[in-house]
Structure 1
Amino acid sequence: MFKNTKIKTLLTINLTFIIILLLTVGSFGLYGLNKSNLSLQTVFADRLVPASDLGDIRVLLMRNRLALNRALVFRNIEENNTALTQIQKNSAEIDRLWKKYIATYLIPEEKQLVANMEAAYKAYLT
């Protein structure tokens, strides 16, 4: 079939086939990269940001404990008022971050932990 075909024509056919093959493989590669990028964005939005919020909640709870300890140690009206203001401010931020966290997608294990945490936090506040 290709015996009487010129070398120029054979090279053109081969080069065209290789270019089409490379474009096809490249397209599949770009599609895969885009899909993995979207998956990583989901992981970032649903897992990493809420984990960071939980870390912030932990820090604010620790600051509340420190402010309370400081007020108990110094037993000064001014120090107590400062501690109370700080605790109220931190508690408002904790509530905001907690509502943001529970609004994200939670796996069943996390839902159970959230229920436990809410009960413990309610007892802590009373």
Structure 2
Amino acid sequence: MKKTILLLVFSIALSSSVFAQSDVDKKVESYIARVESKLTLTSEEKETLVALNTEHAKATLEINDTYEKGSEELKAKRKANNQKYGKALKEAFGKERAKEIKMAAKKNKKGKKKKKKN
């Protein structure tokens, strides 16, 4: 009986981590596709970007699971994670190339009006 329960718990834990991994992979693939649609990446740049973005996506997923939705702590952790990702991009690609990658990765928000700068 104990073996059955342990096996059940282990299989549930394993399956949940597999689904979480596939979510991260999908997000990373989508991110890379957006960047590649606007920029040309070398294979080395692509590998580096995949590694950095995978780490960022995993950390974001962990933060979202750990902290309560809408809390100030969640917002602060997300902001810190995004800043860490930005610094990692700058270190890996240089300031200008990192800026190009960030701009290329932005999603086109349909239905939202752009704010006019005065």
TM-score by length of 2: 0.37
Q: Which structure features the higher share of helix residues?
A: 1
Higher relative contact order (CA closer than 8 Å, sequence separation 6+): 2
TM-score by length of 1: 0.35
